């Protein structure tokens, strides 16, 4: 078992979760059970899958969970682009979260390649 809390990919994932929850609260009320729910769930999935994968015995299993986290980050990016197109949040807020998400994708890709 590995200490996932020391991993930068998990730490950045937690930062993304915090930023997404703050931003999700600013979305229109009619999106409460739609996009707001979607972006928070896929954001939470990133560090959660990193943590869950750290408990696996083999690197192959760990890589699978890291790949799921990467997929969730791409899902989050897509949702954020929709939010941006709809102009539901200030542009700088969306850009900041997108930047964190893209950084996380690069870090996860490197991590997966090393497993």
Report residue 110 as tokens: 């490197």
R_g of the chain computed on alpha carbons: 14
Length of the chain: 115
Provide the pLDDT for residue 36.
95
In 3D space, the residue among 62, 68, 47, 71 whose CA is nearest the CA of residue 115 turns out to be 62
Provide the pLDDT for residue 2.
83
Report residue 94 as tokens: 């969306």
pLDDT digits (tens, 9 = 90+) for 3-61: 999 999 999 999 999 999 999 999 999 998 899 999 999 999 999 999 999 999 999 99
Provide the pLDDT for residue 1.
65
Domains of the chain: 4-114 (1.20.1440.60)
CA dihedral 20, 88, 26, 105 (to 10 degrees): 0
Provide the pLDDT for residue 32.
87
Q: pTM above 0.85?
A: yes
First to last CA, the chain: 14
Instruction: Write the DSSP assignment of 55-77 as a string of letters.
Output: T-SSHHHHHHHHHHHHHHHHHHH
pLDDT digits (tens, 9 = 90+) for 52-101: 999 999 999 999 999 999 999 999 999 999 999 999 999 999 999 999 99
């Amino acid at each position: 078992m590995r200490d996932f809390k020391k991993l930068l990919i998990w730490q950045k994932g937690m930062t993304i979760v915090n930023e997404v929850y703050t931003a999700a609260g600013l979305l229109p009320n009619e999106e409460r059970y739609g996009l707001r729910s979607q972006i928070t769930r896929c954001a939470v999935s990133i560090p959660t899958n990193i943590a869950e994968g750290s408990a696996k015995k083999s690197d192959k299993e760990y890589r699978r969970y890291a790949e799921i986290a990467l997929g969730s980050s791409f899902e989050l990016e897509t949702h954020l682009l929709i939010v941006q197109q709809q102009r539901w949040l200030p542009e700088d807020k969306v850009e900041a979260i997108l930047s964190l998400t893209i950084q996380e994708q690069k870090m996860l890709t490197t991590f997966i390649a090393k497993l």
